[in-house]
Chains A and B, each alone.
Chain A
């Protein structure tokens, strides 16, 4: 291990902070989307325009507060992206391809909570507008939130590769975590089916397109928070 890869006390503190930002990111997304906006379970993709518009016309104050909270989660997500990239850079050494990919796709992860929230905010901004337009904004938001995968997906690819190529006595990632990330890469793919079906388990409110990947995403994230925090504490 080269000396430039060793963790300074200051870097260790930032890594621990970055790990907690990963927790903050998920708390703000879930609290904003679920608890405040009341968007869990998701709106049915096969509901008609009138039913969807009714949600935005009646509950708009609550939806605005919840989705603003969700937009805020993009900020800790960026710090978390910085911490993820730093962890990968410690494994990668002088090469930077994995590190930069991690940083950019970590930013993609932030975009996937920022923009859907913004579309929902636009839908509530004028509760008296034509119901078809509200319907459209609702589609755009949900399709992006559940189906906008490939802008963040390289995070898992990078972590899988990093865990497999890592050598040395003091490991930053476990090899089984590399396999977990490879598995996450695959189980996220059926989310692309939400563009083809409007009901059943592969619709955007379905078990295999939404709840299951969401649960696995949190397992993935909690493990990663643990690894980043451990790398920070170790320094």
Chain B
């Protein structure tokens, strides 16, 4: 490495440590997606017929909410960097509202399933449907707490470098939650 390289600004977003978390978590989800595909290959008819009962409209609405929330997070992070704190606060609030809307729709979706007598033990498809979407929902709820934390950062009168670093790490987490949902949408609801 030359001295010129050392003077370059760091190009990895967030701090290094948060990537331990993100890559680790994506590996776990990759394993779970693999498990789902494996069981689907063993029993394609059951998986295809059960999938027809899922609410694709709610899933698509939730996708739109999460994509919007990610856009709000990008906007918020950009506003934090340019010290436009008022705008940053509104952007992170917007992301939080989209996240809450996602939770509300998931509640509707799960309630409908339970009301029609479908539960985690109904068949193999629903076992993995509830496990994958449930673990994702758990991540999203943690993400709402993270957004709340970033909002507290934006309320500070003066931002330190460490505040920006923490906000960036938290925003990365939110993007990961969004990305994982896109994969869940594809393999559980659509394909």
List residues of chain A with CB under 8 Å of any chain B CB.
Answer: 174-180, 182-183, 186-187, 189-190, 193, 196-197, 200-202, 207-208, 212
Are the C-beta atoms of A176 and B16 separated by less than 8 Å? Answer: yes
Docked complex Cα distance between A29 and B7 (Å): 49
Known: A183-B24, A186-B142, A197-B127. 14 other contacts (CB 8 A): A176-B17, A176-B20, A179-B17, A180-B17, A182-B21, A186-B28, A186-B139, A196-B120, A200-B39, A200-B127, A201-B32, A202-B127, A207-B31, A208-B31
**Residues of B contacting A182 in the complex (Cβ-Cβ under 8 angstroms):** 21
Are the C-beta atoms of A179 and B18 separated by less than 8 Å? Answer: yes
Is B112 close to A, CB under 8 A?
no
Are the C-beta atoms of A183 and B39 separated by less than 8 Å? Answer: no
In the complex, which of the residues A177, A193, A201 has the most CB atoms of chain B within 10 Å of its own CB atom? Answer: A201
User: What is the predominant secondary structure among interface residues of chain B facing chain A?
Assistant: helix
Given the known inter-chain contacts A196-B120, A208-B31, please indicate yes or no for A202 contacting B131, CB distance below 8 A. yes
Are the C-beta atoms of B20 and A193 separated by less than 8 Å? Answer: no
Given the known inter-chain contacts A201-B35, A208-B32, A208-B35, please indicate yes or no for A174 contacting B17, CB distance below 8 A. yes
**Residues of A contacting B39 in the complex (Cβ-Cβ under 8 angstroms):** 200
**Residues of A contacting B21 in the complex (Cβ-Cβ under 8 angstroms):** 179-180, 182-183
7 pairs from A and B in contact (CB 8 Å cutoff): A175-B15, A175-B17, A176-B20, A179-B20, A197-B121, A201-B31, A212-B28
Query: Which residue on B lies nearest to A180, using beta carbons?
Result: B20
Chain B positions 105 through 127: 1 when the CB is less than 8 Å from some CB of chain A, otherwise 0: 00000000000000011001001
In the complex, which of the residues A178, A183, A202 has the most CB atoms of chain B within 10 Å of its own CB atom? Answer: A183
Docked complex Cα distance between A175 and B20 (Å): 10
Is B135 close to A, CB under 8 A?
yes
Is B25 close to A, CB under 8 A?
yes
**Residues of B contacting A175 in the complex (Cβ-Cβ under 8 angstroms):** 15, 17
Query: Which residue on B lies nearest to A206, using beta carbons?
Result: B35
Q: How many A-B residue pairs have CB under 8 A?
A: 56
Are the C-beta atoms of A200 and B35 separated by less than 8 Å? Answer: yes
Given the known inter-chain contacts A176-B20, A180-B24, A183-B24, please indicate yes or no for A212 contacting B127, CB distance below 8 A. no
List residues of chain B with CB under 8 Å of any chain A CB.
Answer: 15-18, 20-21, 24-25, 28, 31-32, 35, 39, 120-121, 124, 127, 131, 135, 138-139, 142
Are the C-beta atoms of B28 and A187 separated by less than 8 Å? Answer: yes
Query: Which residue on B lies nearest to A216, using beta carbons?
Result: B24
Docked complex Cα distance between A197 and B126 (Å): 12
**Residues of A contacting B31 in the complex (Cβ-Cβ under 8 angstroms):** 201, 207-208, 212
Q: When the two chains form the complex, which single residue of A174, A189, A196 contacts B135, counting CB atoms closer than 8 Å?
A: A189
Query: Which residue on A lies nearest to B124, using beta carbons?
Result: A200
Are the C-beta atoms of B17 and A178 separated by less than 8 Å? Answer: yes
**Residues of B contacting A193 in the complex (Cβ-Cβ under 8 angstroms):** 131
Query: Which residue on A lies nearest to B31, using beta carbons?
Result: A208
**Residues of A contacting B24 in the complex (Cβ-Cβ under 8 angstroms):** 180, 183, 187
Are the C-beta atoms of B25 and A183 separated by less than 8 Å? Answer: yes
Tell me, rounded to whole Å, the shortest Cβ–Cβ distance linking A216 to chain B.
8
Docked complex Cα distance between A187 and B124 (Å): 22
**Residues of B contacting A200 in the complex (Cβ-Cβ under 8 angstroms):** 35, 39, 124, 127
Docked complex Cα distance between A175 and B127 (Å): 36
Are the C-beta atoms of B131 and A190 separated by less than 8 Å? Answer: yes
Tell me, rounded to whole Å, the shortest Cβ–Cβ distance linking B87 to chain A.
27
Are the C-beta atoms of A196 and B17 separated by less than 8 Å? Answer: no
Given the known inter-chain contacts A183-B20, A183-B25, please indicate yes or no for A196 contacting B15, CB distance below 8 A. no
Docked complex Cα distance between A176 and B120 (Å): 35
In the complex, which of the residues B28, B31, B139 has the most CB atoms of chain A within 10 Å of its own CB atom? Answer: B28
Query: Which residue on A lies nearest to B38, using beta carbons?
Result: A201
**Residues of B contacting A180 in the complex (Cβ-Cβ under 8 angstroms):** 17, 20-21, 24
**Residues of B contacting A201 in the complex (Cβ-Cβ under 8 angstroms):** 31-32, 35
**Residues of A contacting B127 in the complex (Cβ-Cβ under 8 angstroms):** 196-197, 200, 202
Tell me, rounded to whole Å, the shortest Cβ–Cβ distance linking A154 to chain B.
16
Tell me, rounded to whole Å, the shortest Cβ–Cβ distance linking A141 to chain B.
23
